[in-house]
Amino acid sequence: MKPEIAKLGYVALVSSDLEKSLVFFKEVIGLEETEVIDGVHYLRAWGDFQHHTLSIEQGERGYVRHIGWRTKSKEDVHLFKEVLENKGVHVENVPAWETPGIGEAIRFKVPSGHTFEFYYDVKKPKAQEHRRSVLKNQTYKAWAKGISPRRIDHVNLHTSEDWQVTYTFFQEVLGFKLREYLKKDESSQILAGWMSVTPLVHDVALVSRQKDEIPTNARLHHLSYWVDDSQDVLRAADICREHDLPFCGPGKHSISQALYLYVSDPGSGCTVEIFTGGYLIFEPDWEPVAWNESERAFGNTYWGDSISKKELVKHTIEA
């Protein structure tokens, strides 16, 4: 049996202006703070259960330290370590609870240049009484502040590394399934792929770039938080406008069929996508949906603000 990833866990973010980032993520996005340890702030959405889905700390520049993924079992962490080392990948062992709320873990670089962390054991701290929902199956009171998303949804990564090596690794070694993809009109070269380990259309989107298009080989275009419905996306636009934050959207993607709004953290430069709608995939024999490069604009935007290639590259941070 191959080891398996269960879900996207968290993003470890460094900000060049922590104060601005905390206002953005806590007051505008509306994440709840679990705790602060050694200057690192641990945040989660009102429907997230594990200790955090985002950590933020002060640094000289904005970038992503790593992206955490929870495996389906504790044994899978060890099995992934074996598989990766057999592939010649350097794997770092992270002692249990060195990262608050996260048990024994491994960290490694994927061929795209991004650093991933795999773990299984987590702590699921209850909210303080005055912040706790009356629902036993929910962590916090919903819509307490800001946009108030329910949960973390996906990450969108850009890379200038070899596309064949990268996509093969994500699928054959890590177990991601390709759901939709954008390819060159006259060849099989993949320009972007939407991949998942869950029924979501994508837990990760991977976009290929030329080396002269991005300042470093591994970038984070955005992390995404899920809201319940389209009205929440419209409300998010109002909230961003009230805080005088530029944003893209609301609109609807053709690829994934989801509604979106993009807004960037003024502290770290990290872009957050507020995301809802879309479709779920339950078919065991799903055939990946192919889009040609000439359909790129339509694939990005079914209706709403157009997301140009230039803008997609512009709003990325180092990962």
Query: Is the C-alpha dihedral spanning 227, 231, 234, 240 positive or negative?
Result: negative
Joined together, the tokens standing for residue 197 give 């380990």
Per residue in 92-106, pLDDT tens?
999 999 999 999 999
Length of the chain: 319
Beta partners for 31? none
CA distance 270 to 221: 8
In the chain, what is the greatest distance between 2 CA atoms, to the nearest angstrom? 59
Fold of 5-131: 2,3-Dihydroxybiphenyl 1,2-Dioxygenase; domain 1 (3.10.180)
Q: Please state, in angstroms and rounded to a whole number, the distance separating the CA atoms of residues 77 and 300.
A: 35
Angle at 260 between CA 257 and CA 265, to 5 degrees: 150
Q: Identify the residue whose tokens are 């700390």.
A: 57
Same fold, 5-131 and 151-318: yes
The Cα–Cα gap between 150 and 225 comes to 7
What pLDDT does 290 receive?
Answer: 97
Place of tokens 């002060």: 58
3-state secondary structure of 165: helix
Distance CA 312, CA 235 (A): 24
DSSP helix/strand/coil, 18: helix
Residue ranges of E strands in 40-100: 40-44, 54-58, 63-71, 92-94
Which tokens go with 139? 């962590």
User: Phi, psi (5° rounding) for residue 43?
Assistant: -125, 155
pLDDT at residue number 317: 84
Cβ 51 vs Cβ 59: under 8 Å: no
pLDDT digits (tens, 9 = 90+) for 279-299: 999 999 999 999 999 999 999
Residue ranges in the chain modelled with pLDDT below 70: 307-314
pLDDT given for residue 316 in this prediction = 85
d(CA 55, CA 35): 10
Q: Where are the beta strands (DSSP E) in 105-240?
A: 105-109, 115-119, 151-159, 177-183, 190-196, 204-208, 218-226
The domain spans of the chain are: 5-131, 151-318
Output the CA angle 99-105-107, nearest 5 degrees: 95
- CATH class, range 151-318: alpha beta
CA distance 299 to 257: 9
Bridge-partner residues for 290, per DSSP?
181
Round to whole Å and give the CA distance between 195 and 174: 11
The residues with which 108 forms a beta bridge, in sequence order, are 116
The one-character DSSP state at 52 is -
